[in-house]
Amino acid sequence: MVAMVGLGAACSTAAPAALVAGLYATDGRATDTSPVDAGDALVEVSCSAGTVTDPGVCSGSLDPTVVAVGVEPVAAGITPGAPGRHWFCRPGDGVAWNGRVLLHLVGTYSNPADDNRFAAHACALGFAAIVPMYENRDAIRQTCGDDAGCYEAFHAEITYGRPEAPSPVEVDVPNSILARARSLSTRLVTGDPGFRGWSSVAGALAGDDWSTVALSGHSQGSGHALYLARDFAAERLVILAGPADRLRDGRPDHATVPWITALGGPTPPRTARGRMYVFIHRDDGIENFAQVESNWGAIGLSPVSCAFASAAGYPTGCRRVFIDADGCSAYNAHATVVVRRWGARCALGAASTYTSQSTWRYLLTNE
């Protein structure tokens, strides 16, 4: 165990459980969601030693309101429950830091303290990772409908705190994704002295150089990650079941929104398109497969695709990984890309036939 001083949060411990983080079923790890006392003086980071899932990974969760001044709690879950928590991990004993950081963004209603499998695997590969809890209770298609300009305004307010989105979205600068990510990484510099890499992570997220920052997001979080990839030259972008932005959702005449269309034309993303990857299940009914596939084309993402392989590798040029249709429910198909294992027809939990881990490794490390 690694002692952390002054973070004011409790850390997660491993135990068998079946959890649901917002829309997304998780796969067997319990998380401490007890109330946080802002006066807590000592925090410990839980480190796994030689486990099959996360070998050599140290991780913890924090109350966002005690990390930075002016940060408000955000209730997690479709039915609002306890406030969500920031989550982070980094290599521990036996795992060398690769000099990179993953900034991962969860989807609508989700809580990073529960929904962190993808980030945990990144840390097992040598990344440091932060998964900030942010204002994620408003769904972009329900908020914006067919208002084309609203979609960029939605991302601008939630990502940067610019007062541009319509009600009910209300996010100021301290509560924006970028500010929350930066304040979390800054707090870890002194809070987790056992890992000196946090200084580099904090410097990168301050905006001077994002060349070591990998961005990823699930569902609506992938749209926010893409928005950041537009503005910063990140090391890579991994889109998991998204982005959601689409006019005339679910209708035959559905169409791209202007800010995404612009990425394929006059305002290309600063993150190289050749460093962008996507992973989705064809049965996904939360983010309509045909619509998100059209968004990838509008961005200018490479069309080279490959079929999901539970254990085998992928051709180097593959940028789009598809899990074939299997008669899955909309929610379970949507979750497959962020859980470690699932079974036939996307059964989550015990009936585990397939694993995402080799695919995650490819998405995070392919050169």
pLDDT tens for 326-366 read 999 999 999 999 999 999 999 987 667 899 999 999 999 99
- The ranges assigned to domains in the chain are 2-273+292-302+356-365
pLDDT band (50, 70, 90) for residue 38: very low
Beta strands in 48-135 (DSSP E): 57-62, 86-91, 101-105, 128-131
pLDDT value of position 158: 98
Which whole number is the average pLDDT over 32-58?
A: 57
State how far the alpha carbon of 271 is from the alpha carbons of 62, 124, 175, 296, 341, in Å. 29, 24, 24, 14, 30
* Strand, helix or coil for residue 112: coil
Q: Which residues pair with 29 in a beta bridge?
A: none
DSSP assignment, residue 71?
P
Reported as a single tens digit per residue, the pLDDT across 232-283 is 999 999 999 999 999 999 999 999 999 999 999 989 999 999 999 999 999 9
Mean pLDDT of 133-140: 96
Residues 6+ apart with CB under 8 A from 49: 55, 56, 92, 93, 94
Are the C-beta atoms of residues 270 and 247 closer than 8 Å to each other? no
Q: Which two three-digit tokens encode residue 355?
A: 């694993």
Phi/psi for 363 (5° steps) reads -60, -35
